[in-house]
Amino acid sequence: MTFEFYGLLAQFQQQQPGGGHGIGIGYWLIIGASFLLSMAVSGTLKRRFAEYSQIPMRMTGAQVAEAMLRQNGINDVQVISVPGHLTDHYNPANKTVNLSEPVYHANSVAAAAVAAHECGHAVQHQQAYAWLGFRSAMVPVVNIASTLQQYLMLFAFGGLAFFKSPMMLMIWAGAFVVTALFAVVTLPVEFDASRRALVWLEKSGVANQMEHKTAKNALFWAAMTYVSAAIGAIAQAAYLVMMLLGQRDNRG
Q: Known catalytic residues?
A: 118
Q: What is the amino acid identity at position 145?
A: A
Q: Which long-range contacts (CB under 8 A, 24 or more apart) does 14-17 make?
A: 14/246, 14/250
Q: How far apart are CA 239 and CA 30, in angstroms?
A: 9
Q: How far apart are CA 4 and CA 183, in angstroms?
A: 23
User: What are residue 78's DSSP bridge partners?
Assistant: 96
Q: How far apart are CA 31 and CA 160, in angstroms?
A: 19
Q: How far apart are CA 239 and CA 234, in angstroms?
A: 8
Radius of gyration of the chain (CA): 22
Q: How far apart are CA 97 and CA 119, in angstroms?
A: 7
In 3-state terms, what secondary structure has residue 82?
A: strand
* Contact predicate 63/43, CB 8 Å: no
